[in-house]
Structure formats: structure tokens, C-alpha cells
Structure 1
Amino acid sequence: MTMSQITVKRIKAHWVDRARNYGILVDGKEVAEIGNDSEVAIDVDPGAHKVQLKIDWCRSPVIDIEVSQGKTVYLECGPRAHPALVLLYITVWKDKYIWVRKA
């Protein structure tokens, strides 16, 4: 059986989280880490999956994706926090600290 993949690309951050990795969760389990300005490919079974990224107590919203047999779904992510709003993003908006979307 040919594996399917989820490929996550993290855009280059010039300030926020530049030197820190994000954890990549697929279906609630941490399966990889991704550094600044890098890309990670994750083998998954075909079907529906929930993807989320995290750093410390902060997270991205969960994104639902469907991965077809032998295909790759491409996602991109990055920090949402503007330096002036970082205190709000690590407290009140902690579940929106990282953005993630289909590429």
C-alpha cells in the first residue's frame, strides 16, 4: 500500500519564535517538530485527519483535511503574533497563536 503524506511548511519568521520549534499534532498525537523556515513530511494513512501545531501552551486552531491514497496534502504555518500583540496571543488568544492553512 502506498502511503499518503501531509507536508507542513513553516514560513520564515523574522522575530516571533525564530529560534523555536513547533510541535505538529496529527489526530491529537505529536508526530514531528518543525523549525523556522523549514518543511516536514509526515506519512499518514489515507482518510480524514485533524492537524494542529503547538508551542508551549499556545496552539493553532485544528484544521480538518482529507488525504487521498498515495497523495500529499500541503499545509503552511507560522506565528500569528505581531510583536505589539504578543501578550494577548500568549494569554487570551493562545489557541490562535499559530496560523495553519492549506498551501
Structure 2
Amino acid sequence: MIIQVFRPKQLADMARDYKLFADGVEVATITRGSIQSIEIPDDTKNLQARIDWCSSQTFPVHAITENGIVIKNSFASNIITLLLLPLYYITFGKGKYLKIESDMSR
């Protein structure tokens, strides 16, 4: 199965790449501002994005639309969140630091 993956340009994480995992196995490296076609095994049930010790929640493959997925950090270019919540996201919220959404409309 081939999926389209988009990672927007965001201030946070601009120098680091995200890793995409299919059922716990690394399948791709996602760079800032890129759209990539990624092949995942047909029997894949869940996707997860990771950066350093932080990650996204698992995302069910059956929820992927024909437009693909978007992987972004939880700050989503919100300057207030960027200033106030980084400590939360790298400690207690480390499993919610990244988001996978099923729509590539930008």
C-alpha cells in the first residue's frame, strides 16, 4: 500500500526529521516541508510518528483518506502553545507531541 505523507514547515523541529513506523517497524524518514509517497505493508494496522523520545499516538491505517496523512507537531504553528507548553510535551505529553491527521488539505 502506498500512502502520501505531508509534513508542513513548522518552527519547532525544523532541524530534525520525523520517523514513521508501521506496526513498530520504521518505514520512512519524513523531512520538514516535504510530501512523500511511502510504501507500507498491506497488512499494516497502525502508524506512529516519532522524534527523539517523543511520539504521536498510534493512528489506524483504515482511517487514511485518499488524500493521505499529515504529520506535524502539536504546536501547529501556534506561538502561544510554542511558548507555554514545550516542557509538558517533552515530559508528560511525550506520547502526544506529534499528531497524525488524515487530511492533506493545507
Which residue is equivalent to 1:93?
93
Residues 47 and 66 of structure 1 are in contact (CA less than 8 Å); yes or no, is this contact kept in structure 2?
A: no
1:59 matches 2:42: no
Percentage of matched positions with identical amino acids: 32
Instruction: Encode CA deviations 1:54-81: one digit per residue, 9 max, x unaligned.
Output: 00110000000139xxxx6600011113
Q: CA shift at 1:48, angstroms?
A: 4.6
Which residue is equivalent to 2:18?
22
- Of residues 50, 72, 75 in structure 2, which corresponds to 1:78? 72
In the alignment, the residues of structure 1 paired with residue 73 and residue 57 of structure 2 have an alpha-carbon distance, to the nearest angstrom, of 12
Which structure 2 residues correspond to residues 21-60 of structure 1 after superposition, within 5 A?
21-60=17-56
Structure with more helix by fraction: 2
Q: CA shift at 1:47, angstroms?
A: 4.3
Per the normalisation by structure 1, the TM-score is 0.82
Residues 5 and 73 of structure 1 are in contact (CA less than 8 Å); yes or no, is this contact kept in structure 2?
A: no
Q: Which amino acid aligns with 1:24?
A: L
Per the normalisation by structure 2, the TM-score is 0.80
Number of positions where the alignment pairs a residue of Structure 1 with one of Structure 2: 95
In the alignment, the residues of structure 2 paired with residue 73 and residue 62 of structure 1 have an alpha-carbon distance, to the nearest angstrom, of 19
In the alignment, the residues of structure 2 paired with residue 73 and residue 51 of structure 1 have an alpha-carbon distance, to the nearest angstrom, of 16
Instruction: Encode CA deviations 1:71-96: one digit per residue, 9 max, x unaligned.
Output: x6600011113322001000010000
Structure with more strand by fraction: 1
Question: Structure 1: which 5+ residue stretches go unaligned?
Answer: none
Residues 8 and 41 of structure 1 are in contact (CA less than 8 Å); yes or no, is this contact kept in structure 2?
A: yes
1:5 matches 2:2: yes
Q: 1:47 to 1:73 in 2, by over 3 A?
A: farther
